[in-house]
Amino acid sequence: MFFEVKTSVYADGSEKTIKVPVGDSLALVESTKNRLTSNAAAMAVDVRYVSTYKQRFSALLREAEAVRALTGIDPQKRVQDDFAAAFLAKGWTIERGGGAAGDIGFSVSATKDLKFTVGAAGAKNAVLIGSAIRLKNYPSNGTDTDLFEMPNGVWVDATRTVVLRPPGNTLPAPRAVQAPAKARKG
C-alpha cells in the first residue's frame, strides 16, 4: 500500500502532516501515468502561448508607435514615465544562466529613452511597458532579452535563465512548479 504524505510548515514553526492513501502498486503507477499525461498536455498549451511573447511584445510596441504617429503622443513613453522610477535606484543586479550576478544600472537619457548599462559596457536602450521590460542588444548585439516581473519583485525571462533583481532583493527567482509530494510505501 502506498500513501501520499504532505507536510506543511508554518511561519511559527508548527507543522501539519496529511497522509492520504494512494493504493497498491498498480494504483500508484496509474496515478503517476495520469499526472504525467495531464501535465504534459497543460505544458504543451502553455508553451504555445509563452513562445509567442517576443512577437507579442513587438506587436505591442508597433501598436504604440502607430498611436504615436497618429497623435504625437507616445503611449510606451507614458508607461515608462509611470514605472521607470524604481529602475533608477542604484543596486540592481542581473545574472544569466545561474552565473554570478553583475551590476546593472538604469538611467533616462535627455531624449527620455530608458538606458541600461551592465558592468563597464556602454549604455543600451531598454523598453519598459509595465510589468515587462525589453533589454535591447542584451546579452549581445542583435539579441534582445524580455523580462517579466514576478510577485516577489524579481524579473525573469521566459526560461528563467536571466534574472534581474532590484536593490536588496536576494530572494530566489520563483520556480515555475513545485515538485509533487512523494509517494511512500506504507
Task: Please report, for residues 11, 54, 82, 98, 175, the alpha-carbon distance to residue 143 in angstroms, rounded to integers and kept in the order given.
Answer: 42, 11, 26, 19, 25
* 38 plus 87 within the same structural domain: no
* 104 plus 153 within the same structural domain: yes
Q: Side chain identity at 159, as an amino acid letter?
A: T
* 29 plus 106 within the same structural domain: no
With respect to residue 174, please indicate whether it lies within any of the assigned structural domains: no
* 25 plus 108 within the same structural domain: no
Angle between helices 53-71 and 75-83 (to 10 degrees): 110
* 146 plus 96 within the same structural domain: yes
With respect to residue 99, please indicate whether it lies within any of the assigned structural domains: yes
> For 24-76, how does the pLDDT look when each residue is reduced to its tens digit (9 = 90+)?
999 999 999 999 999 999 999 988 888 999 999 999 999 999 999 999 999 99
Q: What is the pTM of this model?
A: 0.75
Report residue 134 CA to chain centroid gap: 12
Confidence of residue 174 (pLDDT cuts 50, 70, 90): low
Instruction: Go through 120-136 and write b for each residue having 16 or more CB atoms within 10 A of its CB, e for each that does not.
Output: eeeebebbbbeebbbbb
Provide Rg for the chain, Cα atoms: 22
With respect to residue 176, please indicate whether it lies within any of the assigned structural domains: no
> For 11-33, how does the pLDDT look when each residue is reduced to its tens digit (9 = 90+)?
899 999 999 998 999 999 999 99
Q: What's the confidence (pLDDT) of residue 181?
A: 55
**DSSP secondary structure, the chain, as one string:** -EEEEEEEE-TTS-EEEEEEEEESHHHHHHHHHHHHHHHHHHHHHHHHHHTTHHHHHHHHHHHHHHHHHHHS--HHHHHHHHHGGGGGSS--EEEETT---EEEEEEE-TTS-EEEEETTSPPEEEEE-SSEEEETT-SSTT--EEEEE-TTS-EE-TTS-EEEE-TT--PPPPPSSPPPPPEEE-
With respect to residue 183, please indicate whether it lies within any of the assigned structural domains: no
With respect to residue 36, please indicate whether it lies within any of the assigned structural domains: yes
- In whole angstroms, give the CA distance from residue 133 to residue 88: 14
User: How many domains are there within the chain?
Assistant: 2
* 96 plus 156 within the same structural domain: yes
Q: What's the confidence (pLDDT) of residue 170?
A: 77
* 42 plus 90 within the same structural domain: no
The residue written with cell numbers 507616445 in the block is 74
Q: What's the confidence (pLDDT) of residue 62?
A: 97
With respect to residue 186, please indicate whether it lies within any of the assigned structural domains: no
Q: Which domain holds residue 45?
A: 2-50
* 89 plus 127 within the same structural domain: yes
With respect to residue 67, please indicate whether it lies within any of the assigned structural domains: no
> For 67-126, how does the pLDDT look when each residue is reduced to its tens digit (9 = 90+)?
999 999 999 999 999 999 999 999 999 998 877 778 999 999 999 999 999 988 889 999
Residues 180-184, mean pLDDT to the nearest whole number: 57
Q: What's the confidence (pLDDT) of residue 186?
A: 56
Is the pLDDT confidence value at 182 over 70? Answer: no
Confidence of residue 152 (pLDDT cuts 50, 70, 90): confident
